[in-house]
Amino acid sequence: MLFFEFALDDSDPKTQNPNASKNSRLVAFLRALEHRCLESGSDDQILELLETSIGDPPQAWPEERDSLKAALKFDGFEWSNDKLVATTPGPAALAPQVSALEAALRDRGFSVANSHYGQAVDNFTSGNWESANAQVRPFLENLFIALCKIQCGKELSDANAALQHLKDKGKLDLGEWNNFRHFWSDIQDNGPHHGLSAEHEALYRLHVATATARYLLDKLR
């Protein structure tokens, strides 16, 4: 049906192989749709597909729908009045930042921080706001401590002490130190306990933690 509705019949693997699996046909459809959008310079058909998928009867695939909505928030979109709307004047695309940050953490050897960050992202897209918040904390804690050790040669066990030492050694200026220590203080509550965290709060923490980490990794090379 999707191949027919989007006039992509010639890309359907079933025309060459009647036994093509559903998964291979879905992958072929998405690739063909993406290629067409790249050629036309317009994302209208992708938006149409997303709106069609989310607009299905709610009982059709509730868990997958919720995950899709959460993932779209990374790209700065929300589902409102039966259509996708941008949440910022220019969508604050977090997904590319997420990928870039994960790559930077991996390439520079911050494996523990990267593990916590990946779990925060996975929990957010699964709608587990408390678990997402709970992973943001050790992600930043490990990053602050690891950066302090690399930049200053001092291994500390406390995130606040690590930030203080980075400032004392001239690696952070007063404004940066104040921003990071205040955010660190703010995310100490509403963690893993059920019912304490909300979606908007979890998204805010993930956005700011991502921006903070990318800034620090670029500044403290």
Instruction: Encode pLDDT of 61-98 as tens digits.
Output: 778 888 888 888 777 788 877 788 776 655 556 677 77
User: Residues 121, 208: one domain?
Assistant: yes
Residue 51 lies in a domain: yes
pLDDT at 110: 96
Residue 89 lies in a domain: no
Q: Give the domain-ending residue among 39, 61, 83.
A: 61
User: Residues 49, 99: one domain?
Assistant: no
CA-closest candidate to residue 124, choices 50, 116, 86? 116
Task: Write out the H or E segment, with its range, that includes residue 111.
Answer: helix 111-125
Residue 87 lies in a domain: no
Give the tens place of pLDDT for each residue, 116-156. 999 998 898 888 889 999 999 999 999 999 999 999 999 99
User: Residues 211, 120: one domain?
Assistant: yes
Residue 71 lies in a domain: no
User: Residues 204, 156: one domain?
Assistant: yes
Give the tens place of pLDDT for each residue, 25-65. 999 999 999 999 899 888 888 888 888 888 877 677 778 88
Overall domain count for the chain: 2
Which pTM does this prediction carry? 0.66
Contacts for 162 with CB less than 8 Å, ≥ 6 apart = 144, 145, 147, 148, 156
Q: Give the domain-ending residue among 61, 84, 105.
A: 61
Residue 188 lies in a domain: yes
**CA 159, CA 167: separation in Å to the nearest integer?**
12
* Residue 128: φ, ψ to 5°: -95, 80
User: Residues 57, 139: one domain?
Assistant: no
User: Residues 212, 143: one domain?
Assistant: yes
CA-closest candidate to residue 214, choices 72, 91, 99, 71? 99
Residue 26 lies in a domain: yes
Q: Give the domain-ending residue among 46, 61, 76.
A: 61
**CA 185, CA 16: separation in Å to the nearest integer?**
59
User: Residues 211, 129: one domain?
Assistant: yes
CA-closest candidate to residue 142, choices 108, 100, 103? 108
Other CB atoms within a 10 A radius of the CB of residue 141 amount to: 20
User: Residues 42, 144: one domain?
Assistant: no
Query: Hey, what are 52's tokens?
Result: 């069609």
User: Residues 38, 144: one domain?
Assistant: no
Residue-range definition of the domain harbouring residue 23: 1-61
Contacts for 97 with CB less than 8 Å, ≥ 6 apart = 210, 211, 214
User: Residues 38, 133: one domain?
Assistant: no
User: Residues 105, 51: one domain?
Assistant: no
Residue 50 lies in a domain: yes
- CATH code, 108: 1.20.120
User: Residues 43, 142: one domain?
Assistant: no
Residue 84 lies in a domain: no
Q: Check if the beta carbon of residue 64 is closer than 8 Å to that of residue 53.
A: no
**CA 206, CA 214: separation in Å to the nearest integer?**
12
